[in-house]
Structure 1
Amino acid sequence: MAGILEKNVRLGKHAQHPALILVSNMSSIDQQDKHQDGLHNKLQTASQQAAKKRLQAIALVGILVVAGGAALAGLSLVVGGRHDTPAPASVVQEAPTEAEITALREAFKAAVKAFEHDLEADVLSPPFGVWNADVQHDIKTAKARAIDLFSGGDYAEAVREMEMASTKARQEISAMNAAFEESMAAAQQAYAQDAFDQAKLHITKALSLRPTSVDAQSLAQKIDALPQVLSLVKAVEEARIQNDVEGEIKNLRALLALDPNREGLKARLDDLIIQTMEQRFAGHIKNGLACVEKRDLACAQTHGAAAQKIFPNRSEGALLVTKIFALSQALKVERLLADADAAMNNDQWQKALGLLQNASAIDPGQKRIRDGLELAQKITVLDAQMDRYLSAPGRLSADNVAAGARAVVSESASLSPSSPALSNKAQHLKDVLAGYATKVSVLVRSDNLTDISVRGVGQVGRTKERAIELKPGTYTLEGIRPGYKATLKTLVVAVGAKDVSIEVVCDEQL
């Protein structure tokens, strides 16, 4: 490219008709420009127009020079024909080739494109102006000058100017970035040392150079909170001196919410939290055991639950829970016994039995429960047996059934003081037994031809009329007579019945 630039500043070597050579070059450039497209069409158009005018002017001057030269030569021959010295030849320098011009144009376009893509946004940004307004102005001016040179056809100088602008931009951007990093490091160091004024100064400078930096914005927020943090640090120290653990914890939490990176304070907060947890746990265990001793179940449960919430796996908490459970069971048994006593006093032995059974399931070894359960079971069993006899009193006419009923009545005698209802029922059953034990006179009538018997009792024989005695109950009388069908009669003898009679006659021949 240096060779091309050097060659571009020299004129061509063609001796004949320089204007024609320039016009030819102009025509060649025009032909090239018709096919040129790229990054800067406006620059190309301006360059084409300027080049065309310049070459046309040079061609015109060349023609005039040639013509003038010929006239002067003729005049010289006329005036000084005696002189034999030839006129000096015109020095025509070598013109750049079409390929060289194209290369320079493309180099300029590439330089502009790279500048606009990589550098211009930073250069034109407000932070860059804050950083160095003079350099910002110089770079903008250099770019504009390069475009003017390009438009004027001075491609080599345009490329040089553009490259110098880009180099200056890179240097200043690098210096600006270094200043930003330096300010950030200084702000961070000052912040770590709790030096608010210095930290604020450096972070302000860093943000002026890179206002959109997330890291700078985050550090700025921390620095802005530093006065409050330092106030909390002081409050923490005062609380520690005064042995105000709760106050110290409160201030430490507020401080770490603003600045969570203070590891030493984190450790202190953790130690204090564990310390207070231990104290609270011990207090709940102590108070819970005291509540158990006072048989205050609600109080004990409150402290037990609180202790379990703090340290759920501690043996002290498990012991308190065990004692609380034992207290709750003991109190439950007491309530069951109280309800059972009330039921027994109200002669509600079936209800008392259920309550005592529940109490026995919790504390089967307690004598009071065992004795009460035994009494309740006896009374309820005897009561049920009496109900069965009284529900079918006719069965009491049978000796074995009556014997069983009498045994129940006899057994219940000792329990009468405990259950008036059982005593009344026993008396009722006793009366029924007495009724079924008293025989009733029954008059049996017949035709004196029929043999009569009472099934399960005995023979009546042939009779016109005979009185027999039967206990209350249901009987079957059977009559038999040779040559006649047998007959059966059912007789119900009620307790205390009077004037009971029945006729049994076989009068249907076979």
Structure 2
Amino acid sequence: MSKNDTSNRSSAETIIPLSVSIEPKGTNQNDGLQRRHQFGLTILISAVITLVAGGAWLLHYLSTNSLQPQPIAINPTTNQPKPAPAAVAPPDTQPPPAVDPEKLALDKQAAEQKLAEFLEAKNELDKIGAAEWGGKSYAAMLEIGGRADALLIKKSYKPAAAEYAEAAIIGRQLADRTDEALLRMLQEGRIALIDGDGAVAKSKFKVALMIDPANPLAQKGLKRSQTIEKVLQLIESGKQHEKNNSLSRARTEYQKALQLDPEADNARRALNRVHDLIKEQQFSQLMSAGLTAFHNNEHALARTRLLKAKSLKPGSREVSEALLQVNQAVRLARIDRLRAAAQKAEQSEDWQAALKSYLAVLEIDRNLQFAARGKERAAEQIRIAKRLDFYISQPQALESDKQLANAVLLLNEAKEAQPRGQKLTSRIKGLARLVALAQTPVIVTLESDNFTQIAVYKVGKLGRFSERELKLRPGTYTVVGARDGYQDVRQKIVVKAGQQALRITVKCRVKI
């Protein structure tokens, strides 16, 4: 209601909106009767005053304006004074039709009740910011309420009550649309955030919080609206750095924007984009450095760079192919190094080292024939060398006929082994000399008394004799003498290779 409407109503009659709550019937009837008596008395006094005032005015008018006949104009061109206008009789003032005071009071009470309902609906809507989201419906409600106010001032109570009722209905309908209004305020607030209009966003989210004070989206949106303009400035600054290819600075700006507003999706997308660009840049640099090192045969460095590039793009076909080439080059280079080491070990007849290198090559690629053959060759050389060293270090083993035969076979095998270096040749010569000595018999002369039966282990029974010459290979022999009635004698003979002739006496001298 406007101020003018309020003043007019006050000058005519004070109308107090009724409360929505209804008092007990007895109290209302007493108040109604009292108001009807007061209203009737007021009407009567007003009518008397009106009649007295009208009569007084009529008497005053007739006394000052007497009724005279009007002269007829003969010559309109002559300058004669104009006749005075004829007196106009005042209109008949008839009192308004009689109104039932009791009915009028009831109509007024009904209008005031509807006014109270309308004001209650309007107050509830104002609390939830309906002026911001009610649109035409809210404006229509106010317009109808204004018309109702005017009718109430004119004491047109029934039409006023109808208008208030219609306005209250619109208000209740608006109240039923708060969920829809909340969604619209949130959506318009989000759009304002996207547009960077912090003031509009703030207004929309405030209204949303009037509708639902605990709404988390509205709370978050209101908080974002306070920093959105600064956030957009940082994002724009980051874009300029991107255009200038200053990716690190752009990243810093986007990170600042996200610190101010962690919900800023555009800042997050921009940051992710810059991360990807930086990653792509780093990837290209690592690939270039890796391939350069590869072409310079710096395989370890190349592999390190390419592995870093792969960590940035695990699924990159480009880096996989480059790593395959580098790994192949590294593999071939290692095979070459191992092969060279094996060949060097063979030349120095270090067959253990050669075998180790060939085995390492076969771990890389079991199909490499040179390594397979080298492994067999080295193993054979090691086996022959070990057996040769055994006989050379323990020549007494050759005293056994079996071991001597094995040594002879070993010599034949060693002479056929290839390659035959100086060490192997020296071993062969050493064993050949020992075998020759082991095969060369030493003359051993046995003396006896023609009474003692002589037997030599590993040779046989020799019988009785006074002297007998034996040719024995180097070794240890046991000579036993036996004679009836005498104690047996036993004597050990050690025949050494290259030893001069031996003379041994074997006789039984001790009688039993």
Fold agreement, TM-score > 0.5: yes
The one-letter code matched in structure 2 to 1:393 is P
Q: Deviations over 1:258-277 (max 9, x none)?
A: 45666666666656655665
The one-letter code matched in structure 1 to 2:499 is A
The one-letter code matched in structure 2 to 1:386 is L
Q: Residue 448 of structure 1: CA displacement?
A: 0.6
Note if contact 2:456-2:480 (Cα within 8 Å) is conserved in structure 1.
yes
Counterpart CA distance in 2 for 1:405 and 1:436 is 10
Note if contact 2:235-2:267 (Cα within 8 Å) is conserved in structure 1.
no
Q: Residue 499 of structure 1: CA displacement?
A: 6.2
Note if contact 2:241-2:250 (Cα within 8 Å) is conserved in structure 1.
yes
Q: What residue in structure 2 maps to residue 495 of structure 1?
A: 497
- Cα distance 1:210–1:399, how it changes in 2: closer, same or farther (>3 A)? closer
Q: What residue in structure 1 maps to residue 85 of structure 2?
A: none
Counterpart CA distance in 2 for 1:401 and 1:189 is 103
The one-letter code matched in structure 2 to 1:491 is I
Count how many residue pairs are aligned between Structure 1 and Structure 2: 361
- Cα distance 1:213–1:392, how it changes in 2: closer, same or farther (>3 A)? closer
Alignment counterpart, residue 427 of structure 1, candidates 426, 429, 433 = 429
Alignment counterpart, residue 447 of structure 1, candidates 438, 446, 449 = 449
- Cα distance 1:375–1:190, how it changes in 2: closer, same or farther (>3 A)? closer
Q: Residue 166 of structure 1: CA displacement?
A: 11
Q: What residue in structure 2 maps to residue 457 of structure 1?
A: 459
The one-letter code matched in structure 1 to 2:129 is A
The one-letter code matched in structure 1 to 2:226 is D
Structure 2 residue matching 1:322: 3-state secondary structure: helix
Alignment counterpart, residue 194 of structure 1, candidates 187, 190, 196 = 196
Q: What residue in structure 2 maps to residue 318 of structure 1?
A: 320
What are the within-5 Å matches in structure 2 for residues 40-51 of structure 1?
Answer: none
Q: Residue 389 of structure 1: CA displacement?
A: 2.0
Q: What residue in structure 1 maps to residue 468 of structure 2?
A: 466
Q: Deviations over 1:153-191 (max 9, x none)?
A: xxxxxxxxxxx9999777535413226965994766644
Counterpart CA distance in 1 for 2:324 and 2:490 is 77
Structure 2 residue matching 1:300: 3-state secondary structure: helix
The one-letter code matched in structure 2 to 1:328 is V
Counterpart CA distance in 2 for 1:249 and 1:227 is 19
Note if contact 1:180-1:210 (Cα within 8 Å) is conserved in structure 2.
no
Q: Residue 487 of structure 1: CA displacement?
A: 6.4
Q: Residue 472 of structure 1: CA displacement?
A: 0.8
- Cα distance 1:298–1:416, how it changes in 2: closer, same or farther (>3 A)? closer
Q: Residue 386 of structure 1: CA displacement?
A: 1.1
The one-letter code matched in structure 2 to 1:4 is G
Structure 2 residue matching 1:295: 3-state secondary structure: coil
Q: Residue 194 of structure 1: CA displacement?
A: 1.9
Q: What residue in structure 2 maps to residue 175 of structure 1?
A: 126
Percent identical among aligned pairs is: 25
Q: Residue 278 of structure 1: CA displacement?
A: 5.4
The one-letter code matched in structure 2 to 1:176 is K
Alignment counterpart, residue 300 of structure 1, candidates 294, 299, 302 = 302
Q: Residue 384 of structure 1: CA displacement?
A: 0.9
**TM norm structure 2:** 0.55
The one-letter code matched in structure 2 to 1:434 is A
Q: Deviations over 1:37-62 (max 9, x none)?
A: xxxxxxxxxxxxxxxxxxxxxxxxxx
Q: What residue in structure 2 maps to residue 134 of structure 1?
A: none
Counterpart CA distance in 2 for 1:282 and 1:234 is 27
Counterpart CA distance in 1 for 2:191 and 2:404 is 111
Q: What residue in structure 2 maps to residue 380 of structure 1?
A: 382
Tell me, which stretches of 5 or more residues in structure 2 are unaligned? Answer: 1-22, 34-114, 134-180
Q: What residue in structure 1 maps to residue 395 of structure 2?
A: 393
Note if contact 2:129-2:207 (Cα within 8 Å) is conserved in structure 1.
no
Structure 1 residue matching 2:315: 3-state secondary structure: coil
- Cα distance 1:222–1:180, how it changes in 2: closer, same or farther (>3 A)? farther
Q: Residue 355 of structure 1: CA displacement?
A: 2.6
Q: Residue 195 of structure 1: CA displacement?
A: 2.6
Counterpart CA distance in 2 for 1:180 and 1:429 is 120
Q: Deviations over 1:302-346 (max 9, x none)?
A: 233223323323444433343343333333334434544565565
- Cα distance 1:358–1:10, how it changes in 2: closer, same or farther (>3 A)? closer
Counterpart CA distance in 1 for 2:276 and 2:125 is 52
**TM norm structure 1:** 0.55
Q: What residue in structure 1 maps to residue 40 of structure 2?
A: none
- Cα distance 1:486–1:342, how it changes in 2: closer, same or farther (>3 A)? same
